[in-house]
Structure 1
Amino acid sequence: MDAREAFENRQPDGPRNAVHAGRPLLLADNVVKRYGKFQALSGVSLSVQPNTVHSVIGPNGAGKTTLFHTLTGTVPLTSGAIHLDGRNISHLPDHARVQLGVARSFQVTSLFPSLTVRENLRLAAQGVAPRQAMRFWSGPLGRDAHGDLIGAIAERLGLLRVLDRTSSQLSHGQQRRLEVGLALAARPKVIFLDEPTSGMGIDDIDSMKAIIAGLRSDLTVVLIEHNMGIVMDISDTITVMHLGKVLVEGTPRAVRQDEAVRRAYLGNMMTGGR
């Protein structure tokens, strides 16, 4: 069994991203989020198709991260509905959504610095394993119960050679890839990536871009990214947000050519193919 087969075969209960043809994997319907009198999201709707890269862009304060928080269950929504693979998950907490196939990375890398890459990935994998597998810390760290999955993820992210280094010994680019690996270890249907190229050099950016583009072969990606070259090159659909609302949604070509988007956000930054 090679690494890719191991990754796919470790998906519990068959392919996690199997959906009915034409049905969105993730659907947000008129989502509203208020903090007191401040309305951070004002009726946001989006439809994310399976096996696609769906990017959410807009300037700081547009509501992108708040949208991620509501979709992943980090914060409760005020009103509206969220469906995953046809199931209403609007009021489920984040840990319950993880069990159903939602995973995310954060803009600020959060790893266990004293643990190896292997141990970081193993703990992430055990986080969605049956509860009895986590009786004591010493047991899970002392055996390689998720070896196939760990190896597959490490190969996919270019981390095989550093599996036994502590995460504090990794370069910034490797740490960012490991952060994605922790989300992949949850065996998700949909992965939310919040600024995965933040702070990276050009070589690491190119590597991460290729990784993200390749993820859609197995699962669905929802991406927040300020690098317009990446967004335009690898996105299937782009949602442009403005002041807590959806301004435009469409293909990279449609978004690039939209005059409202040009005026509001992108201007000369709209680069990349497609």
Structure 2
Amino acid sequence: MTSAAAPILLEARGVQKHYGKFVALGGVDLQVRANTVHSVIGPNGAGKTTLFHMLTGNKTVSGGKIVFDGHDVTHEPDHRRVRRGMARSFQVTSLFPTLTVRENLRLAAQGVAPAGAHDPWHPPFGRRARAEVVHGVLKRLGLERLSDTPSSNLSHGQQRRLEVGMALAARPKAIFLDEPTSGMGIDDLDEMKDLIQGLKEEHTVVLIEHNMNIVMNISDTITVMQQGRVIAEGKPDEIRSNALVRAAYLGNMITGGKA
């Protein structure tokens, strides 16, 4: 199935976010198709992260509607959206630094079912250990040999991969990744790019990313934002050749191949 024929998993209709008189989002429309990589790009302050907050329920909308997997989730809190199949990483790495890689993933897997997630009276044995899920994610991340290492001892690139893994451990339908390659060295970029591209076999990926080489290589659809509004949307080749996009944001970056 081509990306154009895939069903729509997530739809935003006229989503707005106001902070007093400041308009962070001025009516954003977005359609994300299942099992695709859909990237959202734009200059700093364009509203990309604010849009992520609205889509994932981290903050409340000022107007508009959000539909996920056939459900109106516009006014649902973030923890309910997680249970519907949304998972998210953030710009700033957010891990449990003193816990091992395995324990970070276990907690993420347990968090989907909050009733049994926080039980200090019983050790995480049996089904509560989520061993099968954790093992599968460790293998996918290439972090099996580091499973018993505290997350604070990982390299920056490994920590960023682990954070993606924590989103995966929730077994989501859609994964929202906010600048997952931020601060990465060249050696880590290819591994992260391959990881994200492979996710769409089983998940839908919504990506904020400033590295244009990665965006152009792995995206099925790209939405370009400026000043809280969508100014263009299309396939990578269409965005690369869009004069309005180049003038507003990309300049010579995508024609010269530099991020």
Give your verdict on TM over 0.5: yes
Residue 251 of structure 2 corresponds to residue 251 of structure 1 = no
Residue 145 of structure 2 corresponds to residue 161 of structure 1 = yes
Amino acid at match of 1:163: S
Residue 78 of structure 2 corresponds to residue 60 of structure 1 = no
User: TM-score, normalised on structure 2?
Assistant: 0.94
Cα separation, partners in 2 of 1:119 and 1:22, compared to 1, 3 Å: closer
Amino acid at match of 1:236: D
Runs of 4+ in 1 over 4 A off after TM superposition: 141-144
1:130: how far off? 5.6
- Cα distance in 1 for partners of 2:207, 2:123 equals 35
Q: RMSD in angstroms over aligned alpha carbons?
A: 1.6
Aligned to 1:188: 172
Aligned to 1:86: 70
Cα separation, partners in 2 of 1:195 and 1:130, compared to 1, 3 Å: closer
1:78: how far off? 0.6
Q: Which runs of 5+ in 1 are unaligned?
A: 1-20
| Contact 1:32/1:78, CA 8 A, preserved across alignment | yes
From 121, 133, 138, the equivalent of 2:105 is: 121
Provide Cα deviations, 1:169-219, integer angstroms capped at 9, x if missing partner: 111110000000111111100000000000101110110000000000000
Residue 239 of structure 2 corresponds to residue 235 of structure 1 = no
Moved more, 263-272 or 50-59: 263-272
From 109, 133, 147, the equivalent of 2:131 is: 147
- Percent sequence identity over aligned pairs: 65
From 169, 174, 179, the equivalent of 2:163 is: 179
1:144: how far off? 6.4
- Number of aligned pairs? 252
Residue 58 of structure 2 corresponds to residue 74 of structure 1 = yes
User: TM-score, normalised on structure 1?
Assistant: 0.89
| Contact 1:28/1:82, CA 8 A, preserved across alignment | yes
Aligned to 1:12: none
Residue 185 of structure 2 corresponds to residue 223 of structure 1 = no
Cα separation, partners in 2 of 1:137 and 1:98, compared to 1, 3 Å: farther
Aligned to 2:192: 208
- Cα distance in 2 for partners of 1:204, 1:174 equals 8
Aligned to 1:102: 86
Aligned to 1:38: 22
Q: Which runs of 5+ in 2 are unaligned?
A: none
1:140: how far off? 2.9
Amino acid at match of 1:71: L
| Contact 1:123/1:140, CA 8 A, preserved across alignment | no
Amino acid at match of 2:251: G
